[in-house]
């Protein structure tokens, strides 16, 4: 078995994945700075670990076109990695916070007025809570829209809006790989943005409802390795988003579950299957 791992920098996650992959065969570390396409690799599977959403997506797609199996597959990086596309899928299988997507400032204002304040406006791609802002009133909304207007990237003109959910000082991160619930943790934070990358603290979460909800969220996609963000809203659990290119060192420390092993086992199963 020849396993490739693409990466941007060797985080703790990539080091553990490399170690686990080594138990199944030969491992090839592929640094994105040294990659260009077309690229012909003699590998059975490639685990995609580029940090940038777009570099991950292009790497997966261009490798797939040469017959390489990638984990995750490019379609999943694309559809789960985009908050608007993912939410439209998720709401078919799980409860999600009230949301809307607008393609113009005028429409963003209309959607906001119907969602009600406070609300959260986010770019459709990205992680670590970047450019995610809470909007308490119409003035704040107009300020955000004005700033977005002059930002170069056309994706910033896709306005993803979500009702702000009052959380009990924490939210939940669950991991499902290939239809199997792997683990879940609570993320505690003083700030309403609870990301571990912003200092959120992890603690194991063992809860049957979370397990069942995570599996249903995974079913909306039906393939791959997904981290699932869940809020405990006043009306019950809500799925915020899914991450097809997950960081897991906080979950590993909080739960002791060997997430990297599950990921590698999955990659080995689908390798030239
Ligand atoms: N609608 C909301 N109501 C309350 N809190 C929210 C809402 N949306 C996001 N948050 C908080 O902000 C955090 C970051 O938001 P989200 O997970 O949507 O974006 P992200 O930047 O893609 O994060 P990740 O690194 O998990 O991919 C969430 O984990 C949550 O704590
Ligand atoms: Mg998140």
Residue 159: helix, strand or coil by DSSP? strand
Residue 231 domain flag: yes
Question: How far, in Å, CA of 235 to CA of 44, rounded?
Answer: 46
pLDDT greater than 90 at residue 243 = yes
Total domains present in the chain: 3
Residue ending a domain, among 115, 144, 163, is 163
How many whole angstroms from 229 Cα to the centroid of ligand 2? 6
CB 4 within 8 A of CB 47: yes
Mean pLDDT, the chain, whole residue set: 96
Nearest residue CA, atom 14 of ligand 1?
Answer: 129
Residue ending a domain, among 133, 163, 193, is 163
Ligand nearest to the CA of 129: 1
Q: Are residues 157 and 200 in the same domain?
A: no
For range 63-82, the mean pLDDT: 98
- CATH for 38: 3.40.50.20
CB 166 within 8 A of CB 233: yes
The pLDDT of residue 194 is: 85
Which residues constitute the domain of residue 119?
A: 99-163
- Where residue 111 falls among pLDDT bands split at 50, 70, 90? very high
Q: Are residues 177 and 249 in the same domain?
A: yes
For range 98-118, the mean pLDDT: 98
Q: Are residues 133 and 158 in the same domain?
A: yes
The pLDDT of residue 198 is: 75
Residue 241: helix, strand or coil by DSSP? strand
Question: How far, in Å, CA of 83 to CA of 73, rounded?
Answer: 17
Residue 204 in tokens: 């194991």
The pLDDT of residue 124 is: 96
Residue 270 domain flag: no
For range 25-33, the mean pLDDT: 98
Residue ending a domain, among 135, 163, 191, is 163
Residue 71: helix, strand or coil by DSSP? strand
- CATH for 134: 3.30.1490.20
For range 64-86, the mean pLDDT: 98
Residue 141 domain flag: yes
Residue 51 domain flag: yes
Of 182, 183, 177, the closest CA to residue 269 belongs to 177
pLDDT, tens digit, 9 for 90 and up, residues 165-211: 999 999 999 999 999 999 999 999 989 998 877 778 999 999 999 99
Q: Are residues 183 and 130 in the same domain?
A: no
Of all residues in the chain, the percent with pLDDT exceeding 90 is 94
Residues with CB under 5 A from ligand 2 (ion): 229
- Where residue 34 falls among pLDDT bands split at 50, 70, 90? very high
The pLDDT of residue 126 is: 84
Residue 94 domain flag: no
Residue 86 domain flag: no
- Where residue 234 falls among pLDDT bands split at 50, 70, 90? very high
- CATH for 251: 3.30.470.20
Ligand 1 atom closest to 162 (CA):
1
Distances in whole angstroms, Cα of residue 57 to Cα of each of 53, 61, 189: 6, 6, 30
Does residue 164 line the site of ligand 1, with CB under 6 A?
Answer: yes
Q: Are residues 187 and 244 in the same domain?
A: yes
The pTM of the full predicted model, rounded to 2 decimals, is: 0.96
Nearest residue CA, atom 15 of ligand 1?
Answer: 129
For range 18-42, the mean pLDDT: 97
Q: Are residues 67 and 105 in the same domain?
A: no
The pLDDT of residue 128 is: 82
Residue 171 domain flag: yes
pLDDT, tens digit, 9 for 90 and up, residues 126-149: 878 889 999 999 999 999 999 999
Q: Are residues 173 and 147 in the same domain?
A: no
Q: Are residues 57 and 111 in the same domain?
A: no
pLDDT, tens digit, 9 for 90 and up, residues 79-101: 999 999 999 999 999 999 999 99
Ligand 1 atom closest to 247 (CA):
25
CB 25 within 8 A of CB 66: no
Residue 267 domain flag: no
pLDDT greater than 90 at residue 8 = yes
Q: Are residues 63 and 20 in the same domain?
A: yes
pLDDT greater than 70 at residue 273 = no
Of all residues in the chain, the percent with pLDDT exceeding 70 is 99
The pLDDT of residue 127 is: 79
Q: Are residues 47 and 126 in the same domain?
A: no
């Amino acid at each position: 078995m020849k396993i490739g791992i693409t990466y941007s920098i060797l985080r703790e996650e990539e080091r553990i994945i490399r170690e686990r992959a080594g138990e199944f065969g030969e491992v090839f570390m592929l640094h994105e700075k040294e990659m260009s396409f077309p690229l012909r690799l003699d590998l059975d599977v490639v685990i995609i670990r580029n940090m940038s959403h777009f570099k991950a997506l292009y790497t997966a797609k261009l490798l797939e076109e040469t017959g390489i199996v990638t984990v995750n597959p490019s379609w999943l990086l694309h559809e789960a990695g985009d908050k608007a596309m993912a939410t439209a899928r998720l709401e078919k299988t799980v409860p999600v916070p009230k949301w809307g997507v607008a393609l113009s400032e005028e429409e963003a204002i209309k959607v906001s007025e119907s969602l009600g304040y406070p609300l959260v406006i986010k770019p459709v791609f990205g992680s670590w809570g970047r450019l995610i802002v809470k909007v308490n009133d119409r003035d704040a909304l107009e300020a955000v829209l004005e700033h977005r207007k002059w930002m170069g990237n056309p994706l910033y003109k896709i306005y993803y809006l979500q009702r702000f959910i009052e959380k009990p000082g924490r939210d939940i991160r669950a991991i499902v790989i290939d239809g199997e619930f792997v683990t879940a943790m609570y993320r505690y934070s003083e700030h309403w943005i609870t990301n571990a990358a912003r200092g959120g603290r992890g603690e194991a979460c063992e809860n049957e409802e979370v397990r069942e909800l995570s599996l249903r969220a995974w079913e909306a996609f039906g393939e791959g390795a997904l981290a699932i963000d869940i809020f405990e809203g006043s009306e019950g659990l809500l799925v915020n988003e899914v991450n097809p290119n997950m960081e897991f060192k906080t979950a590993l420390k909080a739960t002791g579950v060997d997430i990297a092993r599950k990921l590698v086992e999955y990659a080995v199963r689908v390798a030239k299957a």
